Structure 1
């Protein structure tokens, strides 16, 4: 079952239309890349020293591959090379014959112009934006009507793979690792919001889009839905509502008005998943517990119930004060009023501190009750 079925049954007219679309997409890719690199230098403010030299601004940094090369790398997209499947296509593990590098190759579904737009956005964003907590795009293929993206291989898969529906023999994430992942993901988002110029709204932050490298080092991936944020006196970007149910900020879902705070809400949902081990949406749970944020909101109001929100798979092995503070961060991020949500830079400050507070399970007995945190309600780690 391949993603690129042969088109023998297609009419010549359909074939010509598809070929014209592919040609237009390739031309658009080249011109958009040139515009993006020429406009005020690179999109990334902090990487200006890496700007293309004179005469190089016509080219995207990513390599180009032929379909034949990527088919060879994945053994013709063999089933045993399949890593997973998402909304935009299948992802395969492959080895590039030219360099012997192990890579992840995403084969986009051929769903017309919308697929082309997402492909273009992904290539442009990841070619122009570089940060340790963003996945590295190695190259792409726009060969005929084929659309493929080649990324660095992330050996530990996604955060979702380590939080939800785990087989009994798979080791659960400990508290220290969870905070490390949360802080790293927040740093990636901070880069998009505060360091990119203009700012970038990710729009699709969720556990399955946070990939993990060696040592559970997190990187944001899948930038097909990313949008340039508002600039100047503009407060939002109006756009068609896209994203994943359960992670979407309520004001964006209702109005289509997208802001940086929309991403902060999504991050709050991810942080809740990291702390609780629950899914953003889980219809297998009891009535009233299907939606993670709706379940958590009443519990946020009573700190005596905070310990009940910790993932049972932690088996009580977490620092109580840090649990309370992490939940305080999550509660602020998922507030319904976007103006009350913190800036992602303040979230990074809070989570970096929590990640630095290493919990030693040997030195501390597991939590078995619902202890009150000394000193009362956790202080807010930021200013409005």
Structure 2
């Protein structure tokens, strides 16, 4: 009756918002309260004049209300008797409170641009709004917190460097920050082996998976997975990808100390630029010494992750890298490194004969064209026990490509 009285006394309709629902869901009183709200909602349908209640109830948390019961059961937040009590309550089921919420909370590039227009009007930076909004979107896919965080870092920590390089520098800072978003991201992956395997398949093995809300419900619910190009399952945004790569690389580094390379000065020239050809030669030597006896299965599952493990300490703190999502299939992966304001494009590819090797070179040429670059690098992972560990510069269609076989 108290809810009815409050709503009757109010001159306006009341919306109830409850935050931290995931934590409150362990409380039997809270679950009973949800059941009461549902009962009031049903009563209001019969008589709006006498059965006053909240216009809407908003539950804020990570879990969809439809999945909250599963979440509670899996984490054993209730005793068996409490769970039975909720299921058999005289009120309506507390789980039956969800209405469809079709509002897309992400920002598109035009919406990001609108915010930048307002900022530009205040500060008159002279930024290229269209370029910066697209750059921010390319890394965030419009994820609101990430969009605002990038803008905040550029404004407060990077002396208002509103450029593509400024966006990348902001992302480097964000990736090295601790916070609930990334903590929850990694925790949800770590605590769910099926989700971990799905993400590993996509990011490391380059497997394509068809988007399906039932099969990948948890990853989608957590905001980690989304529908990508051509209906394929994809990681929500590049920043999530980078943070997950960091996490997976760290796990691999913990198992193989040899990959913790500290000799960064050996790979930097007098101008402060990366000597990528020297980096790849050293990686080739490492693979020859430590992994020459590995089979095809190893190369398909581990080799690309090993390269990322190898490259990270060399560019860490100064450089920046990401994996181009569209190039993970067909046993390839394009790693784009930005270091000292220069961009380096490295294609990693599993070797399956000369025809595939030529295809790999052609793919590098096309990708270099798309990035307006003339120099690229191709790392071929060969499981042929009689292979030669070759490295050479190749001229192709006006491009220079340094090819290394490991």
Confirm or deny a common fold (TM above 0.5).
no
Which structure has the larger Rg over C-alpha atoms? 2
Higher relative contact order (CA 8 A, sep 6+): 1
> Which has a greater percent of helix?
2
TM-score relative to the length of structure 2? 0.27
